[in-house]
Structure 1
Amino acid sequence: MTAYKTFINGAWHEMKERERIEVTNPTDETVLGTIPDCTRDDVDVAVEAAKAAQPGWAALPPIERAKALRKLAGLIEENADHLARTLVLEQGKPLDQAHGEVGAAVNFLTYAAEHARRITGDIMPSDNPDEEILIRRLPRGVVVGLTAWNYPLALAARKLGPALIAGNTFILLSHEITPISGLELVRLSEQAGFPPGVFNVLTGRGPIVGDALVAHPDTDMITMTGSSRAGVEIYRNAANRLKFISLELGGKAPFIVMEDADVEKAAQAAVIARYTNCGQICTCAERIYLHRSIADAFTDRFVSLSKAITIGNPIDNPDMGPKVSGIEVEKVEAMIAAAIDAGAEPLLRGGPLTGGVHSKGHWLAPTVLSVTDNTSPIMQNEVFGPVAPLMQFDDFDEAVSLANASDFGLSAYLWTADTKRILRASRELKFGEVYINRANGEQVQGYHTGWGLSGTGGEDGAYGFDAYFKKQTTYLNWAT
């Protein structure tokens, strides 16, 4: 068992006087190690270090900052096996999916490094004689990254890369359930030669450390991936100083299958979109809408594929590993039970697994429900687990209406061969991200953004990169 430290201003800190939090393996409930339960005093130290380092980091040419990120990306690749196994141990995703997360972290950092020569501004003529208007992009200052426990390494890299290329310094609060990968990331940044204070990592509880980072007068931007409930609190806490915030929050993605869809491909994609990482992805297919004419065929195939999902020790590469915690299992089970009590028909009743390889750990088998009430909690609230509610509809207009009847607006799916419907969906579905005839999985050059309770701002691509800058306008009169 390892007693982990925090990393502030280029050094590891013991913090012996602090309480410690146990980090457990969701597969067998063994304790992997302990992390410091940081305090507001620790936040002050980290922010002071990041603020002091920021002017020097911003003064470097962007291409020099990019060299540091590329070196970090290379070290991640060299340590891919170790990092993937770390993710398996602390988060519970299957090994191949963990390797996928490591690869995503590399992609986020290398793509961010490519922006070093893409930081642009504008020069435009003034209405006044002998005058030009200059608009520059400047770093915001100290950026705080708050990440979720489902993809702790990739989400940290997703925020770290653009923040640093833009000339900001960065403080990561590595989620207390899955903190080790964030600490491994900063360990590699130390090897990559990052200057002290440029990348700092704190550990501890969100309501204490996260709130202190958000409210601190010297933090300038908050970028967070997590629950809508937490996002609302951050929005409220940042309001006193009108900080720039970017929130990627929960989802309740509709998965619409039209009568002209390839049912087999749609069912296979729905399995991927629902059960990857045990359903613990904000873009997961959380509710499946089926045209009545293909509903029976799709349901039969989807239930069959759901039954075939293998569930076991994630290091052995099953289809699904454990849920991240016992509390999560209890939450999902309560939602299933409430849905059945309210009239949902269980087409496949999974639930907790016990005995054998499942005698310890947090295990849930897939559950498939037939639902008729789109206003029911199972159709409106994010489950974040291997539960698939199915509902039938009669035409495209009804499907869009059912999909849009939600407070969430992160991702949506449509399966159809009709070009007109595809174009209409892009216009009418009230979601920041729409997948047509495919499973989930965004790309670094795209823009990952949510509407409504799914967030504000966004990640990735040129649009996501722009969020890490503030703009300055200079009126340059050269006549005198």
Structure 2
Amino acid sequence: MLDFDIQSGKILKAHMLIDGAWVDDAAGDRVEVENPANEQVFATVPLGSEDDVARALEAAHKAQSDWEMVPAVQRGRIVRRLGELVLKRTDDLARIITMEQGKPFNQALGEVTASAEFLFNAADNARRIEGDILVSDNPDEEIFIRRHPYGVVVGLTAWNYPSALVTRKLGPALVAGNGFVLLSHEITPLSGLFIAALAQQAGLPTGLFNVITGRGPVAGQALVQHPLTSMVTMTGSNRAGREIFRAGADGMKVLRLELGGKAPFIVLEDADIDRAVEAAMVSRFTNCGQICTCNERMYLHRSIADEFLEKFVSKAAAMTIGDPMDNPDMGPKVSGPEVDKVASLVRASIEAGAEVLLEGGPLNQGPHSKGHWMAPTVLEVKDNNTAVVKNEVFGPVVPAIRVDGFDQALAMANDTAFGLSAYVFTANHRRIMQTPKALKFGEIYVNRANGEQVHAFHNGWGQSGLGGEDGKYGFDGYLRKQSLYLNWG
């Protein structure tokens, strides 16, 4: 149960949801939840154990067999009702998001809206569970291709969007007829619990949706390896993705892994510079740069680089950083270790010869003496060998590299193991049409900032993951196919 005092902003109670009951871990162990803006522990959640995981999976498995028999359109109505309840409690959920994750309140409001839209889109797919009838080579026979739910789906979510990543996975899994067990990330566990409480109000059957809180090495591994888990959908780091890949191998688990990104941001000589600068700002600094599709490295045509960088650095230097409830441009990073990681990449890059165009870095004085604060940093580098170019930064730091033309920009952009998102700014129609074939990324933004839509498809290539989310293609991933040879001779 998650009792939320709206006036004080305090979480009064937080428990796991297992088989319709709000429970604590048997040992009574707790995990602290910290507000990244002031480092205050404002809540604790149970430290889920392997026994808790087993009970949650058993409950989901039992409930799923009946849920699968419910007509899909009725399943969709309940999921839609959950979306309506999410919108009804927008301010409450947004406040929880801001308190546990640190994004500005107005951005948290946007996340709640997106959370509901994921559920509404999933509900719309209830009438789109389709199969095929094929002509057989044999007389008096037809071949039916049918779709069925997998059974129990495990959801593992990242901390950067603690509400939207839950509903992005939960909605299609439920509408497809699956049961669902969520491991709500240890840094940001409260949003998932709040959504689970709303799911009960929406009329979801007891045991169908369960929420475990705790740490990945124990609860997460147990969820992935358990025999009742049929499918794992995870958003997180490449390191975590590889661990899940290994953990699920023996059980041949179906995996959908949305992992890290290293998006190139290409601006060519014929681009609308002001438009590109604005998109680069949004795509780098929203949510303190903690988005997998963020602008992570800018390739600027030499002829416009000075103008672009002058405008970009000026805007970045003017950003406001402060209490996320006051709606600054940027709130804090999610944790101290995250600040240290980003600062370490910047130091290594400067030592390797990067030129500092805007010196931001960690903030720890005055109004920022408490919390995990970091100001925008802009570097100029010569090639792809610098630490901030090779590694996913996931923070308010961006390197810029000057290029001589489109071909060089494409080659440098593709020089990475990641393949999630990319950006291209140009007015040249031929280049625009070349871009999809030339850039080896699953999602490309042309002349616009980031921000995928719920009815499209969000997927990574290479080290950026397996499978994908959203729209009809994402929904289809929560269903498996069955071939039926029907002979009436």
The TM-score normalised by the length of structure 2 is 0.97
1:179 aligns to 2:189 (yes or no)? yes
The superposition leaves residues 349-402 of structure 1 with CA deviations (integer Å, 9 ceiling, x where unpaired) of 101112332121000000000000212221110000000100000011000000
Deviations 1:383-424 (A, max 9, x none): 000001000000110000000000100000000001111111
- 1:2-13, aligned counterparts within 5 Å? 2-13=12-23
Kept in 2, the 8 Å contact 1:416–1:437? The answer is yes
SS in 1 for 2:275: helix
Distance across 2 between alignment mates of 1:378 and 1:153? 29
Structure 2 CA distance for aligned equivalents of residues 379 and 98 of structure 1: 29
Large movers: runs of 4+ above 3 Å: none
Counterparts of 2:354 and 2:113 in 1: how far apart (Å)? 39
**Structural mapping, 1:394-409, within 5 Å:** 394-409=404-419
CA contact (8 A) 2:25 2:52 kept: no
Q: Distance in 1 between matches of 2:127 and 2:137?
A: 30
Give the percent of matched residue pairs that are identical in Structure 1 and Structure 2. Answer: 60
Corresponding residue SS for 2:451: coil
Compute the displacement of 1:295 (Å): 0.4
2-structure distance, mates of 1:18, 1:37:
8
Matched residue, 1:373: 383
2:159 equivalent in structure 1: 149
Contact 1:144 1:172 in 2 (8 A): yes
Give secondary structure in 2 for the equivalent of 1:459: coil
For the residue of structure 2 that corresponds to 1:261, the secondary structure is coil
1:172-213 residue CA offsets vs partner (Å, 9 max, x unmatched):
000000000000000000111111111100000011111111
Q: List gaps (5 residues or longer) in structure 1.
A: none
Distance 1:340 1:377 in 2: 9
Q: 1:85 — aligned with what? A: 95
**Structure 1 residue corresponding to 2:77, chosen from 67, 81, 85:** 67
- Give the residue type in structure 2 aligned to 1:155: L
Q: Is the 8 A contact 1:27 1:361 kept in 2?
A: yes
Partner of 2:8: none
SS at match of 2:357: strand
Secondary structure of the equivalent of 1:194? coil
Aligned residue in 1 for 2:109: 99
SS of 1:59 mapped into structure 2: coil
Q: Tell me which moved more, 168-177 or 369-378.
A: 369-378
8 A Cα contact 1:2 1:34, kept in partner: no
Give 2:435's match in structure 1, choosing from 425, 429, 438. Answer: 425
Q: How does 1:335-374 map to 2 (within 5 A)?
A: 335-374=345-384
Residue 275 of structure 1: which of 257, 272, 285 is its match? 285
Shift in Å at residue 15 of structure 1? 2.6
**Is the 1:446–1:461 Cα contact (8 Å) retained in structure 2?**
yes
Alignment partner, residue 58 of structure 1:
68
The runs of 5 or more residues in structure 2 that have no matched partner are 1-10
C-alpha distance in 2 between matches for 1:184 and 1:93? 18
Tell me by how many angstroms 1:214 deviates. 0.5
SS at match of 1:101: helix
CA deviation digits over 1:80-115, x for unaligned, max 9? 000001111000000111001000000000000001
Partners of 2:457 and 2:107 in 1: how far apart?
A: 22
- The residue type paired with residue 271 of structure 2 is A
Residue 259 (str. 1) matches residue 269 (str. 2): yes
Determine the C-alpha separation between the residues in 2 that align with 1:163 and 1:18: 31
| 1:247 matched to 2:257 | yes
Within 1, Cα distance between the matches of 2:100 and 2:200? 22
Distance 2:185 2:107 in 1: 19
Matched letter for residue 44 of structure 1: A
| Helix, strand or coil at the partner of 1:170 | strand
- Superposition pairs of residues 111-126 of structure 1, within 5 angstroms: 111-126=121-136
AA aligned to 2:106 is D
Deviation at 1:10, TM superposition (A): 1.1
Whether 1:136 aligns to 2:135 is no
Deviations 1:294-320 (A, max 9, x none): 000001000001001110000000000
Q: Cα offset for 1:16? A: 5.1
**How far does the alpha carbon of each residue in 1:37-95 deviate from its partner, in whole angstroms, 9 at most, with x for none?**
11111111011101111110000001111111111111111100000011110000001
Q: What is the CA–CA distance in structure 2 between the aligned matches of 1:166 and 1:191, rounded to whole Å?
A: 20
1:241-263 deviations in Å (ceiling 9; x for gaps)? 11110000000000000000011
Distance in structure 2 (CA, Å) of the matches to 1:2 and 1:203: 16
* Contact 2:388-2:398 within 8 A present in 1 as well: no
For 1:381, give the aligned amino acid: N
Could you tell me how far 1:150 is from its partner in structure 2? Answer: 0.2
Residue type of the partner of 1:347?
A: L
**Mapped partners of 2:28, 2:406: distance in 1:** 57
* Cα deviations by residue, 1:432-458 (Å, 9 ceiling, x for unpaired): 000000000000111100011100100
Give the aligned length: 479
Contact 1:2 1:32 in 2 (8 A): no
SS at match of 2:180: strand
Aligned residue in 2 for 1:320: 330
Asked whether 1:40 is paired with 2:40, we answer no
Give the 3-state SS of the residue equivalent to 1:148 in structure 2: coil
| CA distance, structure 2, for counterparts of residue 389 and residue 349 of structure 1 | 12
Q: Distance in 2 between matches of 1:428 and 1:465?
A: 28
Q: Tell me the secondary structure at the aligned position of residue 458 of structure 1.
A: coil
Contact conserved, 2:115 with 2:164, CA < 8 A, in 1? yes
The alpha-carbon deviation at position 2 of structure 1 amounts to 3.3
Q: Secondary structure at the match of 1:212?
A: helix
Query: Does the CA contact (< 8 Å) of 1:173 and 1:209 recur in 2?
Result: yes
2:208 counterpart residue number: 198
- Is the 2:346–2:387 contact (alpha carbons within 8 Å) kept by the matching residues of 1? no
Cα distance, 1:3 vs. partner?
4.1
1:301 to 303, 311, 314: 311
- Residue 449 of structure 1 is matched in structure 2 by 459
